[in-house]
Amino acid sequence: MASPQSPSRLSAPIDLPRVRELFARPARIAPSDFLRREIAERMHERLSLVKIVPRQVLDAGCGAGADLGLLQKTYPAAQILGLDGAGAMARAARGPVAQGGALNQLLTRLMPAKAGVDVLCGDYGNLPFGPNSLDLLWSNLALHWHPLPDRVFAEWRRVLRVEGLLMFSCFGPDTFTELRAAFAALDAYPHTLPFVDMHDFGDQLVAAGFSTPVMDMERITVTYDTPQALLADVRALGGNPLESRRRGLIGRAAWQRLLDALEAQRRPDGKLGLTFEVIYGHAFRPAPRTTASGESIVRFQPRKP
């Protein structure tokens, strides 16, 4: 497990304050929510195959909170927590929670756990929870915004209880292939994130102390009528938070070269395509094998009659 001082094996020069700035206006992000909702549904299909009864559930990187209702409907007796690093997003997520305040109060009285939904602002790579606090950690399209995903996995393992479940999605390296090819005609600056490969995520999960990680991937292609519409969705998905990004506005001639490069990629059906490689992962926090002093733990299971 990586310590705060040890170098990360896989990282990207992501400017976290820039990430919070890019997500500071929920209305700017909202047009791309169709993709998050589609991926959330696909994550939920996978989650339905895992039989758990969680008491505390965290949506790490909850954005405007659209997944909170899905999780509450799935686990009505659980306390559902939403956390986002952008204050404006956390405030947007609290709106539906406040509207459902009476329901939250009723669930709190009827259920043994503190049922309902709570939202807070914070860093999902440095969670404000103690060890062994959560039964399920859900994260939809948030992990790729952090420069040190291996540190994030270690933190997520810390807050999960034994046999707690992690389920997440994020973009993989084949995301935005068309856009990267078009920008290559413009300059040599990185205009998209260097998304991490699925197999590297699996290795990071094991290194962080998770057991039996399951990783899979699919490609989703969204089509557009114009380059402008494609670029608008890319901006709505977040933008470019890399410290090595190009600074300043792109000139009119350079912008036209970018549009022309995208136009050259039109498909036989006349549409422009934009590829998203979506990575899905889930893993459990296993029971410890050693004590705090390093002594091995041996478990004896009673023989079945």
Report how far apart, in Å, the C-alpha atoms of 253 and of each of 245, 249, 264 are: 19, 12, 17
Residue 272 forms part of a structural domain: no
118 phi, psi to nearest 5 deg: -130, 145
Report pLDDT for 248: 63
Mean pLDDT of 109-119: 67
pLDDT tens string 221-277 = 999 999 999 999 999 999 998 987 777 667 889 999 999 999 999 999 999 999 999
Residue 247 has a pLDDT of 73
pLDDT at 304 over 80: no
pLDDT of 290 higher than 80? no
Most confident of 69-83, 110-124, 231-245: 69-83
CA distance linking residue 38 with residue 164, whole number of Å: 25
101 lies in some domain = yes
In a domain, 107, yes or no: yes
Structure tokens at 55: 């008491």
Residue 250 is assigned to a structural domain of this protein: no
Residue 38 lies in a domain: yes
Handedness of CA 84, 88, 92, 98 (dihedral sign): positive
Number of domains within the chain: 1
pLDDT at residue 7 is higher than 80: no
pLDDT tier for residue 111 given thresholds of 50, 70 and 90: very low
Average pLDDT, the chain: 88
- Contact criterion met (CB below 8 Å) for 174 and 277: yes
Give the contacts of 254 (CB within 8 A, at least 6 positions apart).
Answer: 186, 187
Beta strand pairing call for 116-121 and 79-84: parallel
Alpha carbon distance 91, 186 (integer Å): 38
pLDDT at 2: 40
Residue 119 belongs to domain spanning = 16-173+193-219+277-285
What is the pTM (predicted TM-score) of this model?
0.86
**Computed from CA positions of residues 93, 99, 103, 106, in that sequence, does the dihedral angle turn out positive or negative?**
positive
CA nearest to 247, candidates 12, 11, 15, 10: 15
- Whether 229 maps to a domain, the answer reads no
E strand segments, the chain = 56-60, 79-84, 116-121, 134-140, 160-171, 211-224, 272-284
The DSSP bridge pattern shows strands 160-171 and 272-284 to be antiparallel
**pLDDT at position 20, please?**
94
The helix/strand/coil state of 260 is helix
Q: What CATH code is carried by the domain that includes residue 142?
A: 3.40.50.150
Transcribe 136-156 into DSSP letters.
Answer: EEEEES-GGGSS-HHHHHHHH
Q: CA 245, CA 97: separation in Å to the nearest integer? A: 37
